[in-house]
A and B are shown apart, each in its own frame.
Chain A
Amino acid sequence: METKNLGEKILQTIQEQKIKPKGRWYFLLKNYFIWAIGGLALLAAGAALSVMIYFFRYNDFGMRGEINKSFAEMLILTMPYLWIVCLGIFVFVVYYNLKHTKTGYRYPIWIIITVAIVTSLILGGLFTIAGWGERLDEVLEKRTPMYGEMMNPHINFWSNPGEGRLVGIVSGIATKEEFNLVDKDDKEWVIYISERELKFPLEIGQPIRLLGEKKSEVEFEVNRIMPMTPGRGFFKHMGPGDHPPIMKKNF
């Protein structure tokens, strides 16, 4: 077929099939959608980073002497791996969407990835200052089953009575030297306070971390009590109905 006829055939096809150009709104919407998904992924990356910063702030590196762990061991044990994976996914989504904007292809991969990471870091820092990382972690722990154990390495790290670390929620206060604690697996422990000078305002229903020594399968002798920071939402999601009403007792 000669190209002259071909040109006519193309125009004829367009007219016969009543083909109309897609509306400008379609492309605007598509473009906004790509930017919106990229923006949301960027916010999610910032949020993921702020939760990770929150975990790192309470990593207890200063206690590694008492815990008998090296810096590297503590780092490996308390690294929020799944949050790191999520961050990687969010950064990839940011990259993918930026790359698919109208002129995104003009920029090399390393520039787009750097922009995505630096912007996530800035947002993560701002969210941390606003306290959103902490709040997000608590909300997710309260409302999402399995979140705490899967995403928060502090809970598993502190749930190791054999190595002298126990975490849970105060379920009863018997005497000045003894109280009860329910751990993450709903197991109840009897906690003995070994040092009289140990002062910590205990409340029933309060999530706490303990350093001490396991005495038996249900007994633990404590020599340091600390509040639970990352992970407290996990214990709160056990629900107030599962525990006696909150009462305060200072030792």
Chain B
Amino acid sequence: MITNLDLEEKTDEELVIIILENQNAFSLVVDRYKDKLLRYIRRISSVSVEESEDMLQNIFIKVYLNLNEFDDSLKFSSWVYRIAHNEVIDNYRKRKSRPQLMDVDIKDSYVKELAGDTNILEELSREELKCEISEAINKLDLKFQEIIILKYIEEKDYQEISDIIKKPLGTVASRMNKAKAELKKVLVHKNFS
């Protein structure tokens, strides 16, 4: 008999096998991912709280429906984020409106890295810098916004980003460079105008 405590110690991948036998174990996946995914949805889309919760519900239903599709050629978290990514893209296409980024909580280490290319920001305090970057990310295309969020806010590595957005590693790297270049452009323009 597996107890809840045992289940909590299981890895995501082990949990998938258990969920296929016992539906109730899916609550652990929901618990592990609901906050992360809700934040991710709200960071890259302009939807209301209610709508983001509806999207989250759809995402978990899709995760559950497609559990048998998951295999260990990629991380479970990447697979879940991929479903979330697709849901956000579908929603974006339906609405056909440009998503507005919510305030993002960028880690200090990443603020430094992201700001590294733009010398003009040296005089700004860390908080001002965060605010500047957050606003600048908001002005980028969705594909650039998303890649920066995945890397610097969701803290995914390139392989995970590749698995989430279903693009080759080279494309991820070049898109990241372009996103940074666009971000720099926006920041420079903002501070000179």
B123 proximal to A (CB < 8 A): no
Quick check: B61 and A19 within 8 Å, CB to CB?
yes
A250 proximal to B (CB < 8 A): no
User: Chain A residues with Cβ under 8 A from B53's Cβ?
Assistant: 1, 6
Quick check: A106 and B64 within 8 Å, CB to CB?
no
A175 proximal to B (CB < 8 A): no
User: Chain B residues with Cβ under 8 A from A7's Cβ?
Assistant: 27, 30-31, 34
User: Chain B residues with Cβ under 8 A from A1's Cβ?
Assistant: 49-50, 53
B166 proximal to A (CB < 8 A): yes
Quick check: B27 and A11 within 8 Å, CB to CB?
yes
Q: Contacts A3-B38, A106-B169, A107-B168 known; A21 to B61 CB distance under 8 Å?
A: no
A160 proximal to B (CB < 8 A): no
User: Chain A residues with Cβ under 8 A from B97's Cβ?
Assistant: none
Interface positions, chain B 25-80, Cβ under 8 Å from A, are 26-27, 30-31, 34-35, 38, 49-50, 53, 56-57, 60-61, 64-69, 71, 73
Across the two chains, which residue of chain B brings its CB closest to A27? Answer: B69
User: Chain B residues with Cβ under 8 A from A107's Cβ?
Assistant: 168
Most chain B CB neighbours (cut-off 10 Å) among A10, A23, A26, A27:
A10
B10 proximal to A (CB < 8 A): no
User: Chain A residues with Cβ under 8 A from B50's Cβ?
Assistant: 1
Quick check: A21 and B57 within 8 Å, CB to CB?
no
B20 proximal to A (CB < 8 A): yes
User: Chain A residues with Cβ under 8 A from B65's Cβ?
Assistant: 19-22
Measured as residues with beta carbon below 8 angstroms from the partner, the interface class of chain B is 20 to 34
Could you tell me the distance between the alpha carbons of A21 and B64 in the complex, rounded to whole angstroms? 6
Could you tell me the distance between the alpha carbons of A6 and B54 in the complex, rounded to whole angstroms? 9
Quick check: A3 and B35 within 8 Å, CB to CB?
yes
Across the two chains, which residue of chain A brings its CB closest to B32? Answer: A7
Quick check: A9 and B57 within 8 Å, CB to CB?
yes
Could you tell me the distance between the alpha carbons of A20 and B169 in the complex, rounded to whole angstroms? 34
Quick check: A21 and B20 within 8 Å, CB to CB?
yes
Q: Interface readout for A97-141 with B: 1 if CB under 8 Å, 0 if not?
A: 000001101111000000000000000000000000000000000
Across the two chains, which residue of chain B brings its CB closest to A105? Answer: B166
Interface positions, chain B 162-191, Cβ under 8 Å from A, are 162, 166-171
Quick check: A14 and B61 within 8 Å, CB to CB?
yes
User: Chain B residues with Cβ under 8 A from A3's Cβ?
Assistant: 34-35, 38
Could you tell me the distance between the alpha carbons of A102 and B26 in the complex, rounded to whole angstroms? 24
Can you give 9 A-B contacts (C-beta < 8 A)? A3-B34, A9-B57, A11-B27, A13-B57, A20-B65, A21-B20, A21-B67, A21-B68, A102-B71
A binding-site residues for B, Cβ under 8 Å: 1, 3, 6-7, 9-11, 13-15, 19-24, 26-27, 102-103, 105-108
